[in-house]
Amino acid sequence: MTSINSKYTQQIKSEAARLGFSFCGISKAEQLAEEAPRLEKWLKDNHHGDMHYMANHFDKRLDPTKLVEGSKSVISLLYNYYPEQEQRSDSYHISKYAYGEDYHFVIKHKLKDLVAFINEEIGEINARVFVDSAPVLERAWAAKSGLGWIGKNTMLIHPKKGSFFFLAEIILDLELSYDAPIKDYCGTCTACIDACPTEAILPGNVVDGSKCISYFTIELKDEILPHEVKGKFQDWMFGCDICQDVCPWNRFSTPHTEPSFLPKSELLNYSRNEWQELTEEIFQELFKKSAVKRTKFKGLKRNVAFLE
């Protein structure tokens, strides 16, 4: 790589840090050949359940040049969401990532600022930004760019800060200096596999999405949840953090400093009874800018009733 590529790379990483991203890694925009058979088998085994969108755009998921014409690089970024305070333990729980404002909007705004910086400081580029909202294999790109390894629970794990991160990407037509992957440090640990109450984590770093508590509480739109998983949700009413909470690497997690992700005090302190009596008006106020709105009031009430 030329010194000019290195200079651009350093400028981008410095600006990413200034914008609040914890880590930034860069990889060459090329087909993810190793991921193709894994994704194909995952879909064939119906591990996506009713998430039919996962079967769409197969080629785009594997080849960034089909998303951004002439793309040369994929910038992967991690944004910390680990909270300083958690919900009271004797209540129903939502996943930590949904404590504050919807991450899609918060992080996309920062990505656009980073693209604007590149346009101004380096030169006009063709780029697209992604935050869990397009056919991009985020964890594969983050691992490829050295930001961690993909654990047995299929979460990206950073060796110094764990896995409580949002992942985001910029695919662009600018050649940069590329980072190298790091090794997998999960070893013989099976903490996440052992802790999953619905046995969604399978051998070979595979999660059966159709068995995941997050799938049942967010993605599945049925009016009644399947009887066979009754009593297995361990008080999770939106998403699930079990496999991350038990991961030894998350002892290195440190609280985020993003004001937009701070939870409302009611969210932390509501009792089971208060969640059971939640009205639509309070739901709309409490989750005004939250990712929890994805399940809608009706969905959250269904989940709470299932836990009773």
Residue 131's nearest CA partner among 80, 172, 73, 170 is: 170
Q: Where are the domains of the chain?
A: 1-308
Residue 265's nearest CA partner among 106, 83, 49, 142 is: 83
Q: Is the pLDDT of residue 132 over 90?
A: no
**Residue 35 pLDDT class (50, 70, 90 cuts):** confident
Q: Which residue has 């998403």 as its token pair? A: 239
Cβ neighbours of 254 (radius 10 Å): 13
- Report the pLDDT value the prediction gives residue 62, as an integer from 0 to 100: 80
- Report the pLDDT value the prediction gives residue 198, as an integer from 0 to 100: 97
- Report the pLDDT value the prediction gives residue 290, as an integer from 0 to 100: 95
Segment 217-244 shows an average pLDDT of: 95
Cβ neighbours of 45 (radius 10 Å): 12
On whether the CB atoms of residues 85 and 108 are closer than 8 A, the answer is no
Segment 170-197 shows an average pLDDT of: 97
- Report the pLDDT value the prediction gives residue 56, as an integer from 0 to 100: 65
**Residue 132 annotated to the active site:** yes
Distance CA 102, CA 294 (A): 10
Segment 147-164 shows an average pLDDT of: 97
Q: Residue 28's beta-bridge partner residues?
A: 73
Amino acid at 124: E
Segment 270-296 shows an average pLDDT of: 96
Catalytic residue among 50, 63, 113, 132: 132
Per-residue pLDDT tens over the stretch 40-86: 777 777 777 766 666 666 777 788 988 899 999 999 999 999 999 99
Per-residue pLDDT tens over the stretch 87-127: 999 999 999 999 999 999 999 999 999 999 999 999 999 99
Amino acid at 136: V
- Report the pLDDT value the prediction gives residue 57, as an integer from 0 to 100: 63
Q: Is the pLDDT of residue 196 over 90?
A: yes
DSSP per residue, the chain: --HHHHHHHHHHHHHHHHTT-SEEEEEE----TTHHHHHHHHHHTTTTTT-GGGGS-HHHHH-GGGTSTT--EEEEEEEE---SS---TTS-EE-GGGSSS-HHHHHHHHHHHHHHHHHHHT----EEEESSSSS--HHHHHHHTTS-EE-TTS-EEBTTTBS-EEEEEEEES-------------TT--HHHHH-TT--EETTTEE-GGG-HHIIIII---SS--GGGTT-STTEEE---HHHHT-GGGGG------GGGPPPHHHHH--HHHHHT--HHHHHHHTTTSGGGGGHHHHHHHHHHHH-
Instruction: Please state, for a pLDDT cut of 70, what percent of the chain lies above it.
Output: 96
Q: Is the pLDDT of residue 135 over 60?
A: yes
Residue 257's nearest CA partner among 155, 106, 135 is: 106
Cβ neighbours of 69 (radius 10 Å): 8
Q: Is the pLDDT of residue 36 over 80?
A: no
**Mean pLDDT of the residues in the chain:** 93
Distance CA 290, CA 174 (A): 34
Say which residues have a Cβ less than 8 Å from residue 225's Cβ, sequence separation at least 6: 216, 302, 303, 306
Q: Is the pLDDT of residue 182 over 70?
A: yes
